């Protein structure tokens, strides 16, 4: 019932947006409204269709591939055309422009915003974050990579760009928290080949888009590239205990989740049987950074994820803060810390406005208590060795 109401509310918003766009466009061109109502309805329908159909294998055909790229971009263009019109309409309270001037300003603003947002989406950066971890014996550098969304807009050249940045950071370990692929287009070992240039071990957990494409094939391709795929298991590496979770629901009450995967395992059920190490820092990897209370109670020190894209676009970034427990950045939750990366890819329009594509460089340091204990131990050891 709740999902049905949300769906009809969404349709109502779409209807109002189309009506407003049509009215204002007719004002600009001085003609009837109904042709623009039909045009915007068709464009928006095609945009939604090809955005969600992009995962299908038949979109790999050249014509369909081009349609996916065009109409995915169209979603963002229509969004910012709508916002531009609203902003300029508000500005008209103080300045009265002719229809022609109004149109020039609106279309120019839309073009500038969309061009800048598209360029921004394809410029990943290294984002350094320092995190103190209990039980960590010495400082170490890790990289968090997530939401690459390889497919119609990103292929081997984009992967090479990411690998160059990761190698520039020179990490001791790499965490990859899902959504490696978003379509069958570019789904191949060739696309992943540059990852072999990374010397540090790479640990991967799956995301919802990997499942939409072909989870078994995605995992196989990653393994062939030398990436360790974790399937709800615990490993030890570089003095860390790593809990890698398959993409799963939070608990038994999460059955209505939009992205709820098939399967009985939940974050709650895994945490009920998980035994955290008393000697090593515990890092949990899960694509969707949710269920933090279960992981915190299970003794996890650091929770890493992606999925949210940080909202990706204004105004969605403000909506996301209400939808997700950990939307973007570093959080402190009880004794646990959580970091959600905005990721390097995009969903729908290949644009970012208000967020940046990031590869997170995690500077993990022992907490002050550990550092003082190590300092004392070293001095005591040196004293007795000097006797």
DSSP for 302-325 reads EEEE-SSGGGSBTTHHHHHHHH-S
- Percent of all residues in the chain with a pLDDT value above 90, rounded to a whole number: 83
Helix, coil or strand: residue 144: strand
Residue 379 is predicted with a pLDDT of: 42
Q: Tell me if 227 sits within 8 A of 268, measured CB to CB.
A: no
Would you say residue 375 has pLDDT above 70? Answer: no
CB atoms within 10 A of CB 3: 10
Fold of 125-367: Purple Acid Phosphatase; chain A, domain 2 (3.60.21)
CA distance 286 to 247: 6
Q: Tell me if 70 sits within 8 A of 43, measured CB to CB.
A: no
Half-sphere CA count of 295, side-chain side, radius 13 A? 29
CA 300 vs CA 132, 205, 315, 361, 386: distances in Å: 13, 17, 33, 20, 40
pLDDT tens digits, 299-357: 999 999 999 999 999 999 999 988 898 999 999 999 999 999 999 999 999 999 999 99
Task: Tell me the β-bridge partners of 337.
Answer: 302, 332
Would you say residue 386 has pLDDT above 50? Answer: no
Query: Under the phi-then-psi rule, with left for phi > 0, alpha for psi from -120 to 50, and beta for the rest, what region is 178?
Result: left
Q: Which two tokens stand for residue 62?
A: 């050249």
CB atoms within 10 A of CB 187: 21
Higher-confidence residue: 325 or 80? 80
Mean of all residue pLDDT scores within the chain = 91
pLDDT tens digits, 157-185: 999 999 999 999 999 999 999 999 999 99
CA distance 139 to 222: 28
Nearest C-alpha neighbor of 183 from the set 304, 309, 72 = 72
Residue 4 is predicted with a pLDDT of: 72
Task: Tell me the β-bridge partners of 366.
Answer: 133
pLDDT tens digits, 207-229: 999 999 999 999 999 999 999 99
- Worst-scoring range by mean pLDDT, 28-32, 116-120, 139-143, 147-151? 28-32
Would you say residue 381 has pLDDT above 60? Answer: no
Q: Tell me if 321 sits within 8 A of 311, measured CB to CB.
A: yes
pLDDT tens digits, 38-74: 999 999 999 999 999 999 999 999 999 999 999 999 9
Rg (CA), the chain: 24
CB atoms within 10 A of CB 209: 28
- Domain spans, the chain: 2-121, 125-367
Sheet holding 302-305, edge to edge: 233-237, 240-244, 282-285, 302-305, 336-340, 329-333
Residue 323 is predicted with a pLDDT of: 87
């Amino acid at each position: 019932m709740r999902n049905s109401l949300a769906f009809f509310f969404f349709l109502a918003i779409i209807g109002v947006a189309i009506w407003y766009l049509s009215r204002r466009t007719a004002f600009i061109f001085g003609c009837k409204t109904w042709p623009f109502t039909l045009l915007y309805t068709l464009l928006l329908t095609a945009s939604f269709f090809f955005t969600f159909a992009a995962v299908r294998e038949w979109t790999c055909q050249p014509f369909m591939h081009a349609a996916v790229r065009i109409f995915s971009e169209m979603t963002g263009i229509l969004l910012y055309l709508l916002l531009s019109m609203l902003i300029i309409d508000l500005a008209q309270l103080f300045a009265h422009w002719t229809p022609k001037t109004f149109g020039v300003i609106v279309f120019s603003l839309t073009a500038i915003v969309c061009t800048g947002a598209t360029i921004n989406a394809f410029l990943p950066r290294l984002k350094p974050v320092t995190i103190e971890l209990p039980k960590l014996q010495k400082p170490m550098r890790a990289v968090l990579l997530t939401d690459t969304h390889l497919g119609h807009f990103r292929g081997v050249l984009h992967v090479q760009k990411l690998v160059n940045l990761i190698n520039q950071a020179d990490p001791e370990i790499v965490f990859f928290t899902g959504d490696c692929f978003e379509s069958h287009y570019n789904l191949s070992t060739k696309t992943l080949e540059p990852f072999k240039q990374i010397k540090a071990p790479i640990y991967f957990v799956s995301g919802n888009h990997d499942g939409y494409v072909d989870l078994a094939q995605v995992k196989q391709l990653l393994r062939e590239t030398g990436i360790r795929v974790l399937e709800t298991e615990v490993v030890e590496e570089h003095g860390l205990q790593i809990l890698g979770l398959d993409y799963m629901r939070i608990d038994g009450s999460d059955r209505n989740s939009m992205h709820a995967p098939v399967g009985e395992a939940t974050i709650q059920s895994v945490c009920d049987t998980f035994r955290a190490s008393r000697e090593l820092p515990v890092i949990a990897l899960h694509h969707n950074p949710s269920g933090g209370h279960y992981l915190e109670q299970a003794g996890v020190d650091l929770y890493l994820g992606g999925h949210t894209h940080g909202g990706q676009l204004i105004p969605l970034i403000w909506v996301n803060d209400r939808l997700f427990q950990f939307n973007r950045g570093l959080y402190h939750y009880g004794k646990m810390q959580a970091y959600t990366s905005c990721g390097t890819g995009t969903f729908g329009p290949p644009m970012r406005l208000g967020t940046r594509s990031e590869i997170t460089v995690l500077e993990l340091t022992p907490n002050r208590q550990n550092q003082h204990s190590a300092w004392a131990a070293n001095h005591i050891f040196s004293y007795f060795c000097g006797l």
